[in-house]
Structure 1
């Protein structure tokens, strides 16, 4: 629910500090006054500070090379995959590639089950 007359961007900017831990709040409130004028700028600054390019690159690599461990269930693998993708919200990997990476990482038995279920 959005306050009357408030834009979505204004709501995001106001709500953002409540989603942060203590260290991130200190970072946010230490930014120079007027340095952030919109949601996209805030998002970019946050990602640059908390997700350096090297970390993003490593997570993207993990996502593309994920494999289902032997003895782990389909659901455990799905949970691990989902958690990895959510750990880097700016991964910029298209959905069709996420699906492909997930599928390619399945065990042979689970890949066969998915193939059979999809026709």
Structure 2
């Protein structure tokens, strides 16, 4: 009966698609560890018969982590996470994901911006810019002057 249910509502193609998604899951750049862990678990729950071992599930999750979160998990586990016994990684990730949910820590993303300065208020900068412009102009003129070629007899 279970097999008939799965065949009707979960054809092999759907199971294969979900397996591929699980294997290739990646943490988004603005996604917290908690949100990524939650998304990963929801994906796994959409196909409980994916037949992927617990060890491989943890490995796929770990491989999809952003470098900062991966390093943080390795440090918290006292070495490489994948070298730990099976129950340890899941428990550690669960605890760390809960902490990021509680305290809302996201990866520090430095916003890129341009600072406008007023040249008129800065005479030193204005002089330097004038000198640079003059040098570039001289270089450009110097490159266009014809070069005398001497042929040896």
Pick the TM interval, shorter chain: 0.5 to 0.7
How many pairs does the alignment contain? 78
Q: What does residue range 6-21 of structure 1 map to in structure 2 within 5 Å?
A: none
Deviations 1:31-69 (A, max 9, x none): xxxxxxxxxxx1111110000000000000000000000
Q: TM-score, normalised by structure 2?
A: 0.51
User: Secondary structure of 1:112's match?
Assistant: helix
Runs of 4+ in 1 over 3 A off after TM superposition: none
- The structure where helix makes up a greater share of residues is 1
Superposition pairs for residues 4-43 of structure 1, below 5 Å? Answer: 42-43=1-2
User: Quick one: distance in 1 between partners of 2:29 and 2:40?
Assistant: 15
Alignment partner of 2:8: what SS?
A: helix
- Equivalent residue of 1:59, what SS? helix
Residues 1:51 and 2:49 aligned together: no
| TM-score between the two structures when normalised by the length of structure 1 | 0.65
Choose 1 or 2 for highest CA Rg.
Answer: 2
2:27 pairs with 1:68:
yes
Correspondent of 1:117 among 53, 69, 76:
76
Shift of 1:113: 0.4
Task: Point out where structure 1 has 5 or more consecutive residues left out of the alignment.
Answer: 1-41
